[in-house]
Amino acid sequence: MVMNEKEEEEEEEEEEGEHNVFRIVNGSCNFEKDLCGWTVSSNGSYRWIRRSGKSSDTSAEPDRDTTSSGDGYYICSMSETGLQTDEETDLLSGLIGPNPKQCLTFWYHMYGEEINTLKVFQLNDNRTIELWNESANQRNKWYFQSLSLKYIGPYQINFKAIHGNGSKSEIAIDDISITNTDCKKGKIRTFHITYIFVL
C-alpha cells in the first residue's frame, strides 16, 4: 500500500504520541500493602525501606506507625554504621495530575542524635521546587505536615532523606496524601508513640 505524505505524517504523530503517554497517579500512600508506585533511589547503601515496628531496641526507628493499632507499616531511611555523612536516598512518586488547589500532607518521624535532613520537592521537566525541609533531632514523635502544591502541570513529589554522622539517623514517613483542596491552617499535630496530643 502506498501512503501519501499526509497519512505518513499522521502515522508518525500517532507513534510519537504513544511514546509520550504517561500514567497519572494519585500519589497517596499509607504503605500498608506496598509502596503504591513510589520508587526508591540512592547514591549509596542508605535507602528508604518499608517497615513495621523497629528492628532493635537501640534503633532510632519509630516503635509504631500512625494507625490507631500501631502495628501497620511506614517507610524509613535505614542507616548502618560505616555509611558516609550526606549520603542521600529519594522516595519519588509517579507522575501526578495538577490542580489549581492541591495539598500534600504526611506524617514524619526524625529521632536520633545524628539526624541530618529531610527535604520535600515538587518537580517536573521544567522546575524543581523545594517545598519544605526539617533538620536535627525532633524527639520520638510523629509530626503532621501539610504543604500547598504549586500549579506547574504534571509533576512528581520527592522525599529526600540525607544521612547524618552515625547510625542513629533514621527518618520515617507515613500516610502521604494529596488532595485537590487548599491546605487547612491549624495547630501543629504530633503523635507520640503511646498517645496523641495537640500543642
- Do residues 95 and 157 lie in contact, with contact meaning Cβ atoms separated by under 8 Å? no
Cell of 7: 497519512
pLDDT at 196 over 60: no
Asked if residue 36 lies in contact with residue 108, where contact means CB atoms within 8 angstroms, the answer is: no
Contact in structure between 74 and 62 (CB atoms under 8 Å): yes
pLDDT tens digits for 158-189? 999 998 877 677 899 999 999 999 998 765 66
Averaged pLDDT score across all residues of the chain: 79
pLDDT higher than threshold 80 for residue 14? no
pTM above 0.85, yes or no: no
Tens-digit pLDDT profile for residues 26-81: 789 999 999 999 999 987 788 899 988 765 555 566 766 777 666 789 999 986 65
Contacts of 185 (CB under 8 A, 6+ apart): none
The cell for 177 is: 496524601
How far apart CA 166 and CA 11 sit, in angstroms, is: 57
For residues 34 and 32, give the distance between their C-alpha atoms in angstroms, rounded to a whole number.
Answer: 6
d(CA 67, CA 57): 21
Architecture in CATH for domain 25-198: Sandwich (2.60)
- CA–CA dist 93, 157 (Å, integer): 5
pLDDT score at 148: 96
State residue 22's pLDDT score: 47
* Separation in Å, CA 17 to CA 6, 10, 12, 121, 154: 16, 10, 9, 28, 16
Please count the residues of the chain.
199
Residue 61 amino acid letter: E
Residue 13 has pLDDT above 80, yes or no: no
Q: What residue type is assigned to position 72 of the chain? A: G
Sign of CA dihedral 95, 97, 98, 99: negative
- Give how far Cα 66 sits from Cα of 62, 131, 179, Å: 10, 23, 19
- Name the residue ranges covered by the structural domains of the chain: 25-198
SS3 content of the chain, % helix, strand, coil (to 5): 10, 40, 55
The whole-angstrom separation of Cα 89 and Cα 80 is 13
The pLDDT tens digits for 120-143 are 999 999 999 999 999 988 988 899
Give the Å distances, CA to CA, from 157 to 68, 103, 153: 27, 12, 13
